[in-house]
Amino acid sequence: MPLITTNNAITWGYASSYLAAVQAATQNAFSNGTVSNRIQNQILFATQTINWIYAENPYDSNLPQCVNYLVSLCGTYLAQAQQITTGGSSVIINPATGSQSSIASVNMQFIIGDAGCPIDPNTGGSIVAGGTQFIVPYTYILSQSLQIIYNGQPLYNDLSDEITFTALYTDGNAIVTLNQGVQDGDKIKVNGLQYITI
């Protein structure tokens, strides 16, 4: 399988930007226009910048880091962008290990108070009502790829006027911190992407 090329990254970036725009527009239709299109703009800007650098100097020493950054920005849209543009057959390099990798989905869902809730890093037990942190137990999660759906609503990262989340990504897992405590019966779904060594 070929390694990711700058051309593939640019193609996937444009496709991911489009997918992010479609998702924002769809969500805005059901939320009175309150969903930000910031990620779509970030992906588009990074893609255009890499495209410009590549056109000016395809051997620029910063291109590999820029390509990995773009891939991480594409987040949850990357797998679909790969399917749309290349059938998903390319391989990337995991920057943490240097190994050839592919991308796999991170998916987990749980209900607060039910069996199977993830671990609260503060207590070492399952997250319970009032808790604000939980561990996503997947290795090598792509930075900024996690999306949290809380009682059917997507959460933003780090806003102060509504329930939001932040995530601390490590090689072994991610720790999600909510800015409000959870309640019994709350339904939480976590989506994201992770590197899988091939």
| Separation between Cα atoms, residue 131 and residue 145, nearest integer Å | 23
Helix (H) or strand (E) holding 105: strand 100-111
| Residue found under tokens 């019994």 | 184
Q: What is the pLDDT of residue 34?
A: 67
What one-character DSSP code corresponds to residue 134? E
Q: What is the pLDDT of residue 90?
A: 54
Identity at 98, one-letter amino acid code: G
In degrees, rounded to 5, the angle at the alpha carbon of residue 118 between the alpha carbons of residues 113 and 120 is 90
Residues paired with residue 168 on neighbouring β-strands, in sequence order: 175
The tokens describing 131, both together, are 């808790």
pLDDT tens for the chain, 198 residues long, are: 335 788 888 888 888 987 887 788 777 767 666 667 788 889 988 988 898 888 889 899 989 899 999 999 998 888 888 876 665 455 567 777 877 777 777 889 999 999 999 999 999 999 999 999 999 999 988 877 888 889 988 887 766 668 889 999 999 999 999 999 999 999 999 988 888 887
Answer for the pair 156, 82: CB distance below 8 angstroms, yes or no: no
Determine if the pTM surpasses 0.85: no
